[in-house]
Amino acid sequence: MKYKQRFKDMPIDDAWIHSQKREFFIKEISDLAFGENTIERGYSMQEVIDQIYEFSDHALKWEEGEE
């Protein structure tokens, strides 16, 4: 996977270039969304993304005192 540095003051982290590190990142984010072994339990990438957005939305509401 190729990433271009768009901002001179913000270099791209080398971890994005290494497939094993990207796989680790994906697994960790997935497990944050639905718990351990999310991928192995059959959740889709879209379900993980939706869940992370839901967590983010609830956190924002909580910070602003809406909940």
What are 45-67's pLDDT values in tens digits?
Answer: 999 999 999 999 988 777 777 66
d(CA 28, CA 36): 9
Q: Are 48 and 30 in contact (CB under 8 A)?
A: yes
The pTM assigned to this predicted structure is: 0.75
In Å, what is the CA distance from 45 to each residue of 2, 39, 48, 51? Answer: 21, 9, 5, 10
Span 27-31, mean pLDDT? 96
